[in-house]
Structure 1
Amino acid sequence: MKNLLLYLVLLLTTTSSVFAGIPQKEMKALVEFYHSTRGEHWTTTWDITSDVTQWHGVKVVNGHVVEINLFRNNLEGTIPKSISKLKNLVLLNLAFNSLTGELPATIADLSNLRVLKIEMNRIKGVLPESIGNLTDLEELSAFNNFLTGSIPESIGELGKLKILNLSSNGLKGSLPKSLGSLTELEVLGLFENAIEGVIPVEIGTMGKLRELVLANNQIGGEVPFEVAQLANLQIFQIQNNKFESFNNLRYVNKDQFLVLDFDKGDTNKSFKDIDFSRTRMADTEFEESGQKVYK
Structure 2
Amino acid sequence: MKLTFIYATLLLVPALLLGNFEVSQKEKTALIDLYHSTNGAEWSVPWDLEASVDTWKGVTLKDGHVVSINLFRNNLAGTLPESIGRLRYLTHLNLAFNSITGVLPKDIVKLKSLKVLRLEMNRIKGSLPLGIGQLQELEVFSMFNNFLNGSIPATFGELKNLRELNLSSNNLKGIIPDSIGNLTKLEALGLFENNLEGAIPEEMGKLGQLRELVLANNQLGGEIPAEFSQLASLKILQIQNNRFDSYTGLIQMDTRQFLVFDTDEKSLNPRFNDIQLQRSRMADTKFEDDDDNE
* Fold conserved between structures, TM > 0.5: yes
Q: Where does residue 202 of structure 1 map in the other structure?
A: 203
Partner deviation per Cα, 1:78-132 (whole Å, 9 max, x = no partner): 0001001100000000000000000112111000000000000000000010111
Question: Scaled by the length of structure 2, what TM-score is found?
Answer: 0.87
Q: How far has the Cα of 1:267 moved from its partner?
A: 3.3
- Secondary structure, counterpart of 1:227 in structure 2: helix
Contact 2:219 2:243 in 1 (8 A): yes
Match of 1:294 in 2: 283
Q: Are the counterparts in 2 of residues 121 and 145 from structure 1 also a CA contact under 8 Å?
A: yes
Q: 2:90 and 2:279 mapped to 1: Cα distance?
A: 38
Contact kept? 1:239, 1:282, Cα under 8 Å: no
Q: For residue 266 of structure 2, what is the aligned residue in structure 1? A: 267
Count residues in correspondence: 268
Change (3 A) 1:19 1:261: closer
Query: Which position in structure 2 is the counterpart of 1:254?
Result: 255
Inter-partner Cα distance in structure 2 for 1:276 and 1:159: 36
Distance 1:257 1:209 in 2: 12
The SS at the match of 2:66 is strand
Q: Distance in 2 between matches of 1:173 and 1:240?
A: 17
Query: What is the alpha-carbon distance in structure 1 between the residues aligned to residue 275 and residue 152 of structure 2?
Result: 26
Equivalent position SS for 1:292: helix
Q: Distance in 1 between matches of 2:261 and 2:105?
A: 37
Matched, 1:280 2:269: no
Residue type of the alignment partner of 2:273: R
Please show how residues 107-118 of structure 1 align to structure 2 within 5 Å. Answer: 107-118=108-119
After superposition, the Cα gap between the structure-2 partners of 1:162 and 1:19, relative to the gap in structure 1 and judged at 3 Å, is closer
> 1:140 aligned to 2:141?
yes
Q: Aligned-pair distance for 1:280? A: 2.6
Amino acid at match of 1:294: A
What letter corresponds to residue 214 of structure 2 in structure 1? V
Q: Is the 8 A contact 2:168 2:191 kept in 1?
A: yes
State the one-letter code of the partner of 2:45.
T
Instruction: Note the C-alpha offset of 1:163.
Output: 0.4
CA distance in 2 between counterparts of 1:198 and 1:281 reads 27
Distance apart, 1:292 and its partner CA: 1.7
In the alignment, the residues of structure 2 paired with residue 66 and residue 224 of structure 1 have an alpha-carbon distance, to the nearest angstrom, of 41
Deviation per CA, 1:245-277: give whole Å up to 9, x if none.
0012110012101111011xx334xx4xxx443
Distance 2:39 2:104 in 1: 17
Aligned in 2, Cα 1:251/1:62: closer, same or farther, shift over 3 Å?
Answer: same
Offset, 1:294: 1.1
Q: CA deviation at 1:282?
A: 8.7
Instruction: List gaps (5 residues or longer) in structure 2.
Output: 1-14, 285-294
Provide the rounded CA distance (Å) in 2 between the counterparts of 1:19 and 1:181: 38
- Tell me, which stretches of 5 or more residues in structure 1 are unaligned? 1-13
> What's 1:241 paired with?
242
SS in 2 for 1:294: helix
Query: Does the Cα contact within 8 Å between 1:216 and 1:241 map onto a contact in 2?
Result: yes
Q: 1:210 to 1:290 in 2, by over 3 A?
A: closer
Residue by residue over 1:114-163, the C-alpha shift from the partner in whole angstroms, topping out at 9 and shown as x without a partner, is 00000000000000101111110000010000000000010001100000
Give the counterpart letter for 1:47 in structure 2: D
Partner of 2:60: 59
Letter of the aligned partner of 2:145 in structure 1? N
Please give the TM-score of this superposition, normalised by the length of structure 1.
0.87
Amino acid in the other structure paired with 1:175:
I
Mapped to 2, the partners of 1:42 and 1:36 lie a distance apart of 12
Give the deviation of 1:20 after TM superposition.
5.6
Q: CA deviation at 1:181?
A: 0.5
Post-superposition CA distance 1:158-199 (Å, at most 9, x none): 100000000000000000000000000000000000000110
SS in 2 for 1:68: strand
In the aligned structure 2, how far is the partner of 1:281 from the partner of 1:148? 34
Q: Deviations over 1:51-104 (max 9, x none)?
A: 000000000011000000000000011000100110000000000000000011
8 Å contact from structure 1 (residues 60, 66) kept in 2: yes
CA drift of 1:291 comes to 2.7
Q: CA contact under 8 A between 2:21 and 2:61: conserved in structure 1? A: no
**Which residue in the other structure is 2:3 paired with?**
none
